[in-house]
Amino acid sequence: MRFILVILATFFVQLCTGQQDNQYTQFADTKLFYNPGYAGFEDRLAITGRIRNQWSGLTGAPQGQTLLVDFPSVYKSLGFGLNLSRATIGIQEKNDISGSYAYRLKLAKASVGMGLQLSYRQFINDFTKEGLIAIDGFDKDPSIEKVSFSQGAFNVGLGVFLGTEKYYLGLSVPRLAKTDIDATGDNNLTQEVRHLYGMFGLNLTLNSDWKVLPSLLLKVAENSPFDLDLQSSFVYRDQLHLGINFRTGGTQSTLLESTSVIIGFDFTKNIFASMSYDFNTTPLRQYEDGSFELILKYTLHKDSTPDSIQNPRYY
């Protein structure tokens, strides 16, 4: 019965509007996923992989996989990024490939990136998937065909990201156009709506051992309630990361949707891994076992040693 409800909620999207992008907890470590203006901000090659299993134990629940590649800046002003992602829920699958370009401006103590994103998304509704059930049988319902429907859509997005050593803030709309994603070709039924992301974070030093990194992510989709993630991470000696996240967007009687704990560790200066677990605070918690998310990041730092000394007088 739960699987049928999930299928109905995802298939009859033309009857309602809502947030179409998957939820992720560890947004502070995957800024490029939300904002193309972040491309090249780290000025080094960074490869980040992420997997998420949402509402574990619930058949047909959302799952997602992401691969982010952030390239070093070119001429210290041009940044490029690549985003490959896959998300599934019920019989629905969404595959996304996005390329980001950012032009960076150097201010006195800040760097501002103005980003452009080009993306292609493929939407699949697979009515041949095992486990799909029709109460009265498929033969008695002519509106359900046991086939797999696929539809692709190109889009363009914009983002601005400003960062300093102490704080950052960003605003982005990854997809500006309301593209048709209906497999039947009826443009009035199913469309991809705009999503607005706003992010903010601080880097505060408590003492020689501890830092605290508070951050937030605001998510707004057209004709939908907004979601807000409030997160704080405590970093011990730049190695051990301990964090907590609060997410709004629950039911009308429950403002809080989930509470998450995050733990991460810098194994070397190049390799970082972290894991989060979400505790659902809505009535859905009776049917699921929480949400898991895992991140693995590899960063190739630039060699600080100069290749040659052009003027020995200043050495």
Q: pLDDT value at position 8?
A: 35
**How much is the mean pLDDT over the chain?**
84
- d(CA 91, CA 113) in angstroms, rounded, equals 38
List pLDDT tens digits, range 15-32. Answer: 344 455 778 999 999 999
| Other CB atoms within 10 A of residue 141 CB | 11
Is 315 a domain residue? Answer: no
Alpha helices (runs of H) in the chain, residue ranges in sequence order: 2-11, 31-34
Q: pLDDT value at position 184?
A: 57
- Identify the sign of the CA torsion 143, 149, 155, 160: positive
Is 310 a domain residue? Answer: no
CATH number, position 164: 2.40.160.40
- d(CA 99, CA 118) in angstroms, rounded, equals 5
Measured CA to CA in angstroms, residue 37 lies from 98, 109, 113, 156, 230 at distances of: 13, 17, 5, 13, 21
Domain residues for the domain of 238 are 2-11+18-301
Q: pLDDT value at position 142?
A: 65
Position 164 pLDDT exceeds 70: yes
Backbone angles phi, psi at 23, to 5 degrees: -85, 140
List pLDDT tens digits, range 256-306. Answer: 899 999 999 999 999 999 999 999 998 888 889 999 999 999 999 766 544
Is 72 a domain residue? Answer: yes
- Domain count along the chain: 1
If you ran DSSP here, which 8-state letter would residue 2 be given? H
Is 188 a domain residue? Answer: yes
Q: pLDDT value at position 73?
A: 87
Is 167 a domain residue? Answer: yes
Q: Please tell me the pTM assigned to this model.
A: 0.84
Is 272 a domain residue? Answer: yes
List pLDDT tens digits, range 166-177. Answer: 999 999 999 998
Is 306 a domain residue? Answer: no
Is 311 a domain residue? Answer: no
Between β-strands 111-126 and 167-173, what pairing exists: parallel, antiparallel or unpaired? unpaired
